[in-house]
Amino acid sequence: MQLPLLPPSLTTKKPPPQWDPFTPMVTGLSKSACIHPIHTIVIIALLASTTYISLLEDSLFERSGNNWFGGAKRGALLNGSVRVGLGEETQWKWKEIGNQDMEDKSATELALLTLSFPVGSKFRYCARQQLRITLPRISRLLLCHSSSELNTFVDSVAELPTVDGFDNQGRRRRWVQVGLDRTKRGWGERVHEFINTFIGLVKNAEPLDIAIMFLGYLSMHLTFLSLFMSMRRLGSNFWLATTVLFSSTFAFLFASIATHKMGVPINMILLSEGLPFLVVTIGFEKPIILTRAVLEASQKKARQAGSSNGAPIQAAVVAAVRDKGFEIVRDYIIEIIILSLGAASGVQGGLRQFCFLAAWILAFDCILLFTFYTAILVIKLEINKIKHQVTPRKALEEDGDSRRVAENVARSSEWPRINMSEGDANDGGDVTAKVGDAGVFGNRVRDSSVGKFKVLMVTGFVLVNIFNLCTLPFRDNSSSTVIATESQAANVDVWALAGASLDSMISDKVPMVITVLKPIEYELRHLSVEVSPSATGSRGYDSNDSFDGLDLFVEGMGGKVVESLLKSLEDPVLSKWIFVALAMSLVLNGYLFNAARWSVKETGHSQEYEASTIANGSTDNALAPVVVERIVPVNCTCGGGAGTRHSIENGLPIGQETTNEVGRTLTECEEMLKEKRARELNDAELVELSLRGKIPGYALEKTLADTGRAVRIRRSVISRTPATMDKTSLLERSLLPHEHYDYDRVLGACCENVIGYMPLPVGIAGPLNIDGEIFYLPMATTEGVLVASTSRGCKAINAGGGAVTVLTGDGMTRGPVVEFPSVRRAGAAKNWIDSEEGQRRLKKAFDSTSRFARLQTIKTALAGTYLFIRFRTTTGDAMGMNMISKGVECALHVMSTECGFDDMFIVSVSGNYCTDKKPAAINWIEGRGKSIVAEAIIPAAVVKSVLKSDVDALVELNISKNLIGSAMAGSVGGFNAHAANIVTAVFLATGQDPPQNVESSNCITVMKKTVEGALQISVSMPSIEVGTIGGGTILEPQGAMLDLLGVRGAHQTNPGDNARKLARIVAAAVLAGELSLCSALAAGHLVKSHMAHNRKV
């Protein structure tokens, strides 16, 4: 909202520091809502539901009865009435006097009432003798009588007979006041009545008013559509926009009840006319601004890995509120002030009441924005985090990793990521405490967590409302309806309604004051729809403002049971117990919410604490220069479990602990092992049991439930194995590191029988411009000059405008071999697989095994009775060997059991027709994995200044060395200088499968001179096999390098994009390496460069 006339302190987005009363307040509200988002949502929803039921309580069951469209109560009849006076002071002319009194106190007070029947109906009032009063003979349909007797008269005309009393089918019928006894009417009659009322309002409205209202409602719905589109651009297709509408609806409910409590009447017709323009004018810009700010803050927190302790999501929301809170609250206050001026004005016709209500709506909307909606945003971010976890977890499970490893890797994709080693080394605290809040859904997130949460929240809200609706009949409430449909009905047109009748009274020269009431509507009913006696009896209204009456619902039910239940609820003791039960229910729900959030942390607490304590111990035992020979006694008198920590803290080797505890015998240790209490044994006891074969070496992790301790015990066992002690005795004290490493990721995914980890130097080449995006290239290698040489190639490529890559293929392959009894059967199987029907059946079976794997083509080859089948499929962001193997097994099973090839024998799922980890012409020709072509154009000046070579020399070298030389050697896919060097270094740094360097290094380097004299170099690599999820990519160091490239994990919107980008990076790196090495060879610098780096050749 642009308000240029306001002072700059109000129009700036951020106020001066000394004048900001809003931000601390809304930040505190938002922080409280973020800490307990579910509690906030549930409490506000329950309050809104209670408010909504309060609004319905009087109108749904017609308890107070003041909403009857026919005006069966005096208070309702007076709405819209007009008082006219006649006397000397009005010069014997009718004049509207409003609420004023006539000076002539002798003026008679009368009420004029019209009985309105449907157009064209025949009516005859034949029961005058049944009336308790005498009617003046003015008009058959215009009845006038003393105001004090109005109630009696209204009761007497509740029902009127028709002309003959029967219809064409002989059923009795009567005229009955519209809405007289609505508690006995069906929904069809209610809808019919509503439609008639709406049609009546439309008929009495001006065409211009109808057009304006149509445009207003159209604009309101366009505003709703704009809200959904804006939220969709922010990443939410439905839920965020829906919750914004819920928040606004709750604000309207709270404002309605607040306005009612302040004694300001609310007109439903006025609301229906004004709310569309309020929605269009105010709009939903503030929730959109807050949502955008929260998402930007969360992304900023994601980039600041490890910089935030505590709860990162809550911190992101609070930061966004702190940034945008002043701007949002300022706009709210300005709008509320404008509406308050309208409420304080003297304009009649409902403007004051509507402005008063609208101001309260904005006030509550502001409060809910920073409480209810911020809690929704917290849950939205939690849901996004869950999706980021579930997607890689499912991909890892489909790729063959265990569920435990998949969960660990998925959890590591959360932000911020804490440096585990630093956290351990600094204070030794619990790592989970560092990460912060467990989140709304806990630490262990299941696939169905989001769906269950949405279903439970929506179902709970619906059930609460249904419960409140069902208990409405059993509540005792004598208050009037909050939103009165006719509380401020338009004044009747006196002269059009009763002009002739009033003119006939002037000749009598009698001073009088007549209140012209709105007509009573009648409808024709059959006798089967009767009016209850309570409806036609006297209601006993004592004043013009009386709105209270008997509880028609209870009378309509007519049951003693309901009446007794109502009376029992009035009992003070019972009502107090009900209140206490509701309070206890609320406290219990709050406790269960906390239990659901935090109990998941208790499962692995002990294990995490022990692991962190061990990891924080001294490492002197690994670095001690003296090797101490130790003989473990048979009786294992070496202390209990506490001795392990004691010895580590004091730097003593295993078996040299000093302890005063009574030692355990070998029998006791074995008994504890059988009782699954191996964790209580100390390290020396565990080593002894392992050496005696009681604990298999491969089962240490499972037995101890502590991967770090298992690695340490295994090192000791290997060092002390008698058969190999002459060679392995130094392992326990070797410099192979084993501490401060997350072995939970390794177990079941990367390696078995782990004794440590092997550090490799990692260098950075670049930067390199690849397809317009700048990358630094991580390379893990022990070969000097390699990183420097690649960096020189990157510099030359950047000087020429960068590298351009093209993806020509994407499909991993698996080639099983099957056998048949005869060549005829093998040939029939080959023909069936090559047919359209065979391709369709196998594809359907294959695709059913994974969300990511999609079969592309099937290629077959026959060798005698052996049939080789090469399946080619996409695998998302995983390298996909395990994923495709499962699909192959399923497809072959369907082929043998459902397609008539039950005599087929599966020799092997992999028949080397893939071909995997071996040089093969089929990979060079058909491609495997990602097929990439990378190109760069290097100006001649850059070749000379940066590469210290010449374009013609490079072209000649490439032809003679890479093309002719490789052909002379009979190479397959080896037409390059050293592509394998670059591929291996990048593979090791990013967690790829090292042996697949064999196929991935297939490359042909082409150089030629352009017309402009520049060097055009390209590399074509048809079988780059990479993935960004699964395998070694789940390890944190390798994952950090993938983060460096911006390709870690599965792509959230287009599976496979991250892996394809990594393949492009590999090809571009090979391009830089080829360019630099060939330049060095052409200039004769290769030997010099290696010698400069202390390398012997």
Maximum mean pLDDT: which of 449-458, 589-598, 607-616: 449-458
- Between 982 and 225, where is the model more confident? 982
State yes or no: is 917 an active-site residue: yes
Decide: 682 and 643 in contact? Cβ < 8 Å. yes
Q: What is the pLDDT of residue 1096?
A: 46
Q: What is the tens place of the pLDDT at every residue in 601-635?
A: 434 443 443 444 434 443 334 334 444 433 344 33
Q: What is the pLDDT of residue 185?
A: 54
Decide: 259 and 273 in contact? Cβ < 8 Å. no
Cα first-last separation, the chain: 74
Residue 624 DSSP SS3? coil
pLDDT-derived band at 359 (thresholds 50, 70, 90) equals: confident
- Between 1013 and 375, where is the model more confident? 1013
Residue 867: Cβ within 10 Å count: 27
Q: Which amino acid, residue 171?
A: R
* Tokens encoding 834: 């090559």
DSSP 549-599: ---HHHHHH--HHHHHHHHHHT-HHHHHHHHHHHHHHHHHHHHHHHHHHHG
Cα angle for residues 1013, 1017, 1023 (degrees, 5° grid): 165
Maximum mean pLDDT: which of 240-249, 709-718, 879-888: 709-718
Instruction: Report strand pairing: 905-908 vs 854-863.
Output: unpaired
CA-closest candidate to residue 1006, choices 1020, 1027, 996: 1020
- Between 390 and 325, where is the model more confident? 325
Q: What is the tens place of the pLDDT at every residue in 166-177?
A: 555 556 667 777
Q: What is the pLDDT of residue 660?
A: 42
Using CA atoms of 869, 873, 877, 879 in order, give the dihedral in degrees to the nearest 10. Answer: 10
* Lowest model confidence (mean pLDDT) among 167-171, 322-326, 386-390, 444-448: 444-448
For residue 996, CA distances in Å to 482, 928, 987 come to 75, 11, 9
Average pLDDT, the chain: 73
- Mean pLDDT of the 476-486 span: 42
Q: What is the tens place of the pLDDT at every residue in 666-695?
A: 889 999 999 999 999 999 999 999 999 999
% pLDDT > 90, the chain = 31
Collect all residues with Cβ–Cβ distance below 8 Å to 663 and sequence separation of at least 6.
635, 636, 637, 638, 639
Q: What is the pLDDT of residue 41?
A: 83
Burial of 330 (0-12, 13-18, 19+ CB in 10 A): buried
Of 601, 917, 948, 1009, which residue is the catalytic one?
917
Q: What is the tens place of the pLDDT at every residue in 237-249?
A: 888 888 888 888 8
State yes or no: is 783 an active-site residue: yes
- Between 648 and 257, where is the model more confident? 257
* Tokens encoding 891: 């497809």
Q: What is the pLDDT of residue 193?
A: 66
- Between 693 and 351, where is the model more confident? 693
- Mean pLDDT of the 940-947 span: 94
- Cα-Cα-Cα-Cα dihedral sign, residues 25, 29, 30, 35: positive
Of 189, 285, 563, 783, which residue is the catalytic one?
783
Q: What is the pLDDT of residue 611?
A: 41
- Mean pLDDT of the 937-953 span: 94
CA-closest candidate to residue 55, choices 349, 480, 461: 480
Collect all residues with Cβ–Cβ distance below 8 Å to 968 and sequence separation of at least 6.
none
* Lowest model confidence (mean pLDDT) among 66-80, 144-158, 399-413, 929-943: 66-80
Q: 762-811+927-1092: which CATH architecture? A: Alpha-Beta Complex (3.90)
- Mean pLDDT of the 205-229 span: 80
- Mean pLDDT of the 82-93 span: 79
Structural Rg of the chain based on CA atoms: 43
Q: What is the pLDDT of residue 177?
A: 73
pLDDT-derived band at 731 (thresholds 50, 70, 90) equals: very high
Q: What is the pLDDT of residue 993?
A: 92
Q: What is the pLDDT of residue 932?
A: 97
Q: What is the pLDDT of residue 154?
A: 72
**Residue 38: pLDDT above 60?**
yes
Maximum mean pLDDT: which of 7-16, 42-51, 632-641, 695-704: 695-704
Decide: 1029 and 396 in contact? Cβ < 8 Å. yes
> For residues 1076 and 791, what is the distance between their CA atoms, to the nearest angstrom?
8
- Mean pLDDT of the 998-1025 span: 96
pLDDT-derived band at 118 (thresholds 50, 70, 90) equals: low
**Residue 1045: pLDDT above 50?**
yes
The DSSP secondary-structure symbol of 964 reads: I
Q: What is the tens place of the pLDDT at every residue in 272-318?
A: 777 787 787 777 888 888 888 888 877 776 655 443 444 567 777 88
Q: What is the pLDDT of residue 625?
A: 41
> For residues 442 and 895, what is the distance between their CA atoms, to the nearest angstrom?
44
**Total-model pTM:** 0.57
CATH node for 8-35+206-382: 1.20.1640
Instruction: Report strand pairing: 159-166 vs 142-146.
Output: unpaired
Instruction: Report strand pairing: 520-526 vs 108-116.
Output: parallel
> For residues 144 and 136, what is the distance between their CA atoms, to the nearest angstrom?
7
Q: What is the pLDDT of residue 80?
A: 66
> For residues 563 and 554, what is the distance between their CA atoms, to the nearest angstrom?
7
Q: What is the pLDDT of residue 549?
A: 35
Of 683, 993, 999, 1025, which residue is the catalytic one?
993
- Cα-Cα-Cα-Cα dihedral sign, residues 11, 12, 14, 19: negative
- Mean pLDDT of the 381-396 span: 69
**Residue 371: pLDDT above 80?**
yes
- Between 384 and 913, where is the model more confident? 913
- Mean pLDDT of the 776-799 span: 95
Of 740, 1008, 1009, 1090, which residue is the catalytic one?
1090
- Residue 338: phi, psi to the nearest 5? -65, -45
> For residues 454 and 448, what is the distance between their CA atoms, to the nearest angstrom?
10
* Lowest model confidence (mean pLDDT) among 35-44, 198-207, 570-579, 946-955: 570-579
Q: Report the topology of domain 816-908.
A: Alpha-Beta Plaits (3.30.70)
**Residue 1087: pLDDT above 70?**
no
* Tokens encoding 510: 């009698």
Q: What is the pLDDT of residue 323?
A: 83
CA-closest candidate to residue 608, choices 756, 411, 419, 433: 433
- Mean pLDDT of the 354-363 span: 84
pLDDT-derived band at 443 (thresholds 50, 70, 90) equals: very low
**Largest Cα span, the chain:** 137
> For residues 336 and 356, what is the distance between their CA atoms, to the nearest angstrom?
9
Q: What is the pLDDT of residue 721?
A: 92
pLDDT-derived band at 388 (thresholds 50, 70, 90) equals: low
Q: What is the pLDDT of residue 585?
A: 59
Q: What is the pLDDT of residue 803?
A: 97
Cα angle for residues 262, 265, 271 (degrees, 5° grid): 120
Q: Which amino acid, residue 518?
A: K
Q: What is the pLDDT of residue 222?
A: 86
The angle that helices 707-719 and 605-615 make with each other, rounded to 10 degrees, is 50
- Between 577 and 879, where is the model more confident? 879
- Between 407 and 722, where is the model more confident? 722
State yes or no: is 192 an active-site residue: no
State yes or no: is 993 an active-site residue: yes
Alpha carbon of residue 337 to chain centroid:
36
Q: What is the tens place of the pLDDT at every residue in 560-585?
A: 444 444 444 444 544 545 555 556 55
Collect all residues with Cβ–Cβ distance below 8 Å to 322 and sequence separation of at least 6.
23, 27
SS (H, E, C) 785-833: CHHHHHHHHHHHHHHCCCEEEEEEEEEEEECCEEECCCHHHHHHHHHHH
**Residue 987: pLDDT above 90?**
yes
Residue 95 DSSP SS3? strand
Q: What is the pLDDT of residue 319?
A: 82
Decide: 70 and 54 in contact? Cβ < 8 Å. no
Q: What is the pLDDT of residue 499?
A: 73
- Between 272 and 1015, where is the model more confident? 1015
* Residue range(s) in the chain whose domain bears CATH number 1.20.1640: 8-35+206-382
* Residue range(s) in the chain whose domain bears CATH number 3.30.70.420: 816-908
SS (H, E, C) 401-430: CCHHHHHHHHHHCCCCCCCHHHHHHHCCCC
**Residue 1017: pLDDT above 80?**
yes
Cα angle for residues 1016, 1020, 1023 (degrees, 5° grid): 165
Q: What is the pLDDT of residue 62?
A: 40
Cα angle for residues 207, 208, 214 (degrees, 5° grid): 90
Q: What is the pLDDT of residue 606?
A: 39
**Residue 874: pLDDT above 80?**
yes
* Residue range(s) in the chain whose domain bears CATH number 3.90.770.10: 762-811+927-1092
- Between 335 and 464, where is the model more confident? 335
- Residue 110: phi, psi to the nearest 5? -125, 165
**Residue 157: pLDDT above 70?**
yes
